[in-house]
Amino acid sequence: MEEQVNNVKSDEDKTVAILAYITLIGWIIALVMHNGDNKTKLGGFHIRQSLGIMVYAVAILIIGFIFAFIPFLGAFISIILNLSILVVWIMGLIGAASGEMKPLPIVGQYFQDWFASVARD
pLDDT tens-digit series, residues 97-113? 998 898 988 888 888 88
Band of residue 50 on the pLDDT scale cut at 50, 70, 90 = very high
99 phi-psi bin (left φ>0, alpha ψ -120 to 50, beta other): left
> Which string of DSSP letters, residue by residue, matches 18-62?
HHTTSHHHHHHHHHHHHSGGG--HHHHHHHHHHHHHHHHHHHHHH
Question: Is the pLDDT at 2 greater than 70, yes or no?
Answer: no
Q: Tell me if residue 100 falls in helix, strand or coil.
A: coil
Question: Is the pLDDT at 57 greater than 80, yes or no?
Answer: yes
Are the CB atoms for 101 and 42 separated by under 8 Å? yes
Task: For residues 31 and 16, give the distance between their C-alpha atoms in angstroms, rounded to a whole number.
Answer: 8
Question: Is the pLDDT at 8 greater than 60, yes or no?
Answer: no
Question: Is the pLDDT at 5 greater than 70, yes or no?
Answer: no
Task: For residues 51 and 46, give the distance between their C-alpha atoms in angstroms, rounded to a whole number.
Answer: 8
- This prediction's pTM: 0.82
Are the CB atoms for 44 and 30 separated by under 8 Å? no
* pLDDT on residue 3: 38
Q: Which amino acid does the sequence have at 69?
A: F
What mean pLDDT comes out for the span 77-106? Answer: 91
